[in-house]
Structure 1
């Protein structure tokens, strides 16, 4: 959410512009800093029944209709002239009216592949330019309207992180036209629930992909669209793949006893180890993870990386320098060290066998005498 940009734009407005905006949105700073509980929103969307226009909780229905809301606040609520725009042409024309731009300018923005949405960065730049061209004592209509679109599109009804739903233009036109803020927001809430619910599966899958990293993201990228047509299919596959994370929690002893396999790449070992460390409950802070991981290393890796245990990225970079030193012949690498240790063990074994042979010869001579 571009809260920093919202605050910056707010500071460029003249007092008359701020007064106009406060009449509609109230305390902006409080609104801009309010955190969005995405988990709650996604959960609420999953319970929304588009056919009956109600929230359905295991048979119990909650219907936030305008009529029920009016009964709740004990006063009538007019619903006349609340428009729910969905057509592309209507969105285009409403945006042109709201921002006082030519239809061609809006059409150019909408037809860049955004369907019925405008880019958040484009809108921020538009507001900034308009606010800098302030003239006279009246409020800057275009800048204020664009600012309201930014507020509605990023805080009240967020669509995507970098796009704003153009259909909100009609809602803002109703608000600045004198209709009640509450009834317009309520009508738009119902419209948004239907809109999001229709694309809920695709919406959740995309957000789920964005939350993955490392081996989990690699696993996700191997899936085909036909394998996971719905969110239910994807969630089940994910649970099947990573159920072991919940069933076999890793202990500190397990982590400290782990060793890099022969021939295993350092990065692969580090990724595998961190994957196991992520299952530990409670979570281990990174510095402790690095120290514990370093304690599992052997030979040159342990000695040469001893001074690089502040973070995993620091450790990886130091390992790259170590490998370069090994290639240049300036540092004895882990493999050479291991070979040396093997030779040493073989020498010790040979000496032991020689000693045993000597003892056997002496014993034989003693028995013969």
Structure 2
């Protein structure tokens, strides 16, 4: 029944024609455009952060809705990519429509403010620099309903960093995040 309905709408589910398979075919991407390496969204994080990061990577193409729409799939994986490929692309004509549909789909992540336990669970990855880890930590801490002061954040970051870096960092006093990052950059324990 769904196949018949789709066929009536002009979409043949059994078709392997390029026009039937390609999403947003009329959207144009500049010929010399190189797709940036995006941090791919899987549907489990804050969707606004992903949209901001995506737009920041493509700021040279601002105003080219078609390119934004076509390239957006390159920034998705897992459930988010499944969502994108299942879109009724006849309904999506602008970047604003696509980004609003994206937010509507993943809105449940918008209202989930992290708690202290989430911050404590946020560990530095083995391949991650301390400055990147501090950035991730601060981004999550900024979304908390009850803020944590910088002194406590610095203490927790130092103790939750990779052990080799943490052992080094505990021997210095830090008044702010800038001092923490400077010590790391001077010594390069990352």
TM-score of the aligned structures, taking structure 1 as reference length: 0.26
After TM superposition, the score normalised by the length of structure 2 is 0.46
Higher helix share: 1
Higher RCO (Cα < 8 Å, 6 or more apart) = 2
Tell me which protein shows more strand as a share of its residues. Answer: 1
